[in-house]
Amino acid sequence: MSSTQEIQSGLAEILEEVAGVTPADATPEKSFTDDLDVDSLSMVEIATAVEDKFGVAIPDDQLANIKTVGDAISFIEKNQ
Amino acid sequence: MSASTSDVVVTGLGATTPLGGDVTSTWEALLAGRSGVSRITDEWVQEFPAQLVARLSTDPADAIDRVRARRLDRSQQVAVIAAEQAWAESGAADAGVAPERIAVVFGTGIGGALTLLGQDDVLEAKGPKRVSPFTIPMLMPNGPAAAVGLAIGAKGGVHAPVSACASGAEAIRWGLDLLRFDRADVVLVGGAEACVHPLPMAGFAAMRAMSTRNDEPERASRPFDKGRDGFVLGEGAAALVLERADSAAARGARVHARLAGAGATADGYDLVAPHPEGEGAGRAITAALRDADLSPADVGHVNAHATSTPVGDTAEAAAIRSSLGEHVLVSATKSQTGHLLGAAGALESVFAILALREQIVPATANLDDPDDNANVQALDIVRSEPRRATLRAAVNDSFGFGGHNIALVFTTA
């Protein structure tokens, strides 16, 4: 089980790798598309990386509901 | 040649090649006689009959940031690098051209082969869920054109001719037509190729098309030479900015040369073998001259396609001799760059333009003993060192598997 803080920093690492997001910018209130300029194909890559890192698969219908970094953190927390 | 609104000029050049990371360094290396060819040292090459390659002299990662690069196939990366150089040099971005009047025509022979093959490895090893969501936009053959269009904000149409090793030259011809038909005000054209990988290498080797002179990399690409035994696969891209002469003059743009005419034909002979007498190739050159309203006597220089294959070079020699005569100074620059496939026509057009601008004809490397073929013997192929000449017009011809023939005529600015 990863702590919320561990999930946030792990997610920030993924965002930096996949989309070039500065880790300090990957805060819970940020919208992936509006604030971090992450497009839909990059979201698919992020979902794959989340599964590798946290062992949490994000089904496509759930992925569509993940709008912010906070949404992703919550999803991982609940499903890990 | 009177100035008219249909006159088209070249106002920007860009390239990343086995000889240099830009046009200036590439041209200097070409004139200095340097070779971009080396022997592959990777483990996989051991069983390969042909082990030579002309790799980029400059890593694309030096010019494109990591996040952008990971979404672009290597063929798209080199396309964007060359295109951005040409675009910046032209100054067109500051000329207030509406994006809807900017078009792109960028060709490739093979497309995103490295992505296709790399993701197939992922599929085999890890299954379908691990295949990148960027696989398709990276492997599609319009990928380089699309990436270039995005990079410069072109909304007037983005096109991708695919005619094997004639693709880069065909892109230039399309660009000329777009301007003549007033479908755009500025067109960025070019070609890109990056497919150094075991599969294309094995495929070309199976055709017996590649040089196996593995112990002498720099001497392997030897167009028109008696000892030639195939081409050397190269990678890179070249780009040109085209616009109508009047609008280029109005904004005070630097003009490198005029793109005076183009001709395109098909051999209708064989899927891969050229017509032995270069019938279709010669017709393309003649058509380009007619389009440019020039006669053979006006043409002083040909940058030949000359890939260093046994059958291709003699067919081309026949075509040049029959369409232009024996007075033209011929250069076969693949002797130093290797064969950039779908980028070749664009890069060699850049060379033809620079030859006109600088009034100097590059030498053909490794031409120690010209082929006994009568047409090769009859041509004035510049060798040993570059030759100063008074040039008014130059031809670049390009041919592709499939029987595609493109000839372009450039004249001095």
Q: Who among A19, A20, A45 is closest to B133 (CB)? A: A45
Taking only the tens place, the pLDDT of each residue in B265-316 is 999 999 999 999 999 999 999 999 999 999 999 999 999 999 999 999 999 9
B201 and B336 belong to one structural domain = no
Interface test with A, best of B64, B70, B135, B138 (most A CBs within 10 A): B70
What are the DSSP calls for B294-327, one per residue? Answer: --GGGEEEEE----S-HHHHHHHHHHHHHHH-S-
Give the CATH number for residue A46: 1.10.1200.10
Q: What's the count of helices (H) and strands (E) in chain B, helices before strands?
A: 15, 16
Instruction: Select from B209, B206, B203, B220 the least CA-distant residue to B40.
Output: B220
Give the CATH number for residue B327: 3.40.47.10
B326 vs B368: CA distance, rounded Å: 20
Q: Is B165 a catalytic residue?
A: yes
Of the pLDDT bands very low, low, confident and very high (cuts 50, 70, 90), residue B66 is very high
A53 vs B178: CA distance, rounded Å: 50
CB count within 10 Å of CB B297 equals: 12
B350 is a domain residue: yes
Q: Which two tokens stand for residue B226?
A: 């008696």
B246 and B279 belong to one structural domain = no
Cβ of A20 within 8 Å of Cβ of B132? The answer is no
Q: Domain end: B250, B278, B296, which one?
A: B250
pLDDT above 80 for B173:
yes
B61 and B136 belong to one structural domain = yes
Res B219: pLDDT? 98
B409 vs B260: CA distance, rounded Å: 5
**Rounded mean pLDDT of B367-395?**
98
Q: What is the tally of structural domains in chain B? A: 2
Taking only the tens place, the pLDDT of each residue in A13-49 is 999 999 999 999 999 999 999 999 999 999 999 999 9
B355 near B412, Cβ under 8 Å?
no
ipTM of the complex: 0.91
> Which residues constitute the domain of residue A52?
4-79
Q: Domain end: B250, B284, B306, which one?
A: B250
Check residue B274 and report its DSSP letter: P
A35 vs B404: CA distance, rounded Å: 48
Cβ of A41 within 8 Å of Cβ of B66? The answer is no
A51 vs A76: CA distance, rounded Å: 9
B58 and B163 belong to one structural domain = yes
Cβ of A45 within 8 Å of Cβ of B132? The answer is yes
B192 vs B200: CA distance, rounded Å: 16
B365 vs B348: CA distance, rounded Å: 15
**Residues in chain B closer than 8 A to A19 (CB atoms):** 67
Q: At what angle do helices B74-90 and B113-126 cross, to 10 degrees?
A: 150
Q: B257-266 and B387-388 as β-strands: parallel, antiparallel, unpaired?
A: unpaired
**Rounded mean pLDDT of B11-40?**
98
In Å, how far from its chain's centre is CA B175?
15
Query: HSE on the CB side for B97, CA within 13 Å?
Result: 28
Q: Is B305 a catalytic residue?
A: yes
Percent of chain B at pLDDT exceeding 90: 98
B238 and B123 belong to one structural domain = yes
Instruction: Select from B239, B144, B241 the least CA-distant residue to B193.
Output: B144
Chain B residue closest in CA terms to A38: B67
B377 vs A8: CA distance, rounded Å: 72
**Residues in chain B closer than 8 A to A41 (CB atoms):** 71, 133-134, 137
Task: Count Cβ atoms within 10 A of the Cβ of residue B219 and give its class: 0-12 exposed, 13-18 middle, 19 or more buried.
Answer: middle
Q: Which two tokens stand for residue B312?
A: 């291709």
B228 vs B208: CA distance, rounded Å: 12
pLDDT above 60 for B4:
no
CB count within 10 Å of CB B224 equals: 28
Res B259: pLDDT? 98
B236 and B212 belong to one structural domain = yes
* Sole residue written with tokens 């009859």: B378
> Which residues constitute the domain of residue B126?
8-250
B322 and B237 belong to one structural domain = no
Element (H, E) at A72: helix A69-79
B252 vs B90: CA distance, rounded Å: 10
Instruction: Select from B224, B191, B93 the least CA-distant residue to B404.
Output: B191
Cβ of A20 within 8 Å of Cβ of B130? The answer is no
pLDDT above 70 for B412:
yes
Taking only the tens place, the pLDDT of each residue in B76-115 is 999 999 999 999 999 999 999 999 999 999 999 999 999 9
Q: Is B103 helix (H, G, I), strand (E, B) or coil?
A: strand
B116 and B215 belong to one structural domain = yes
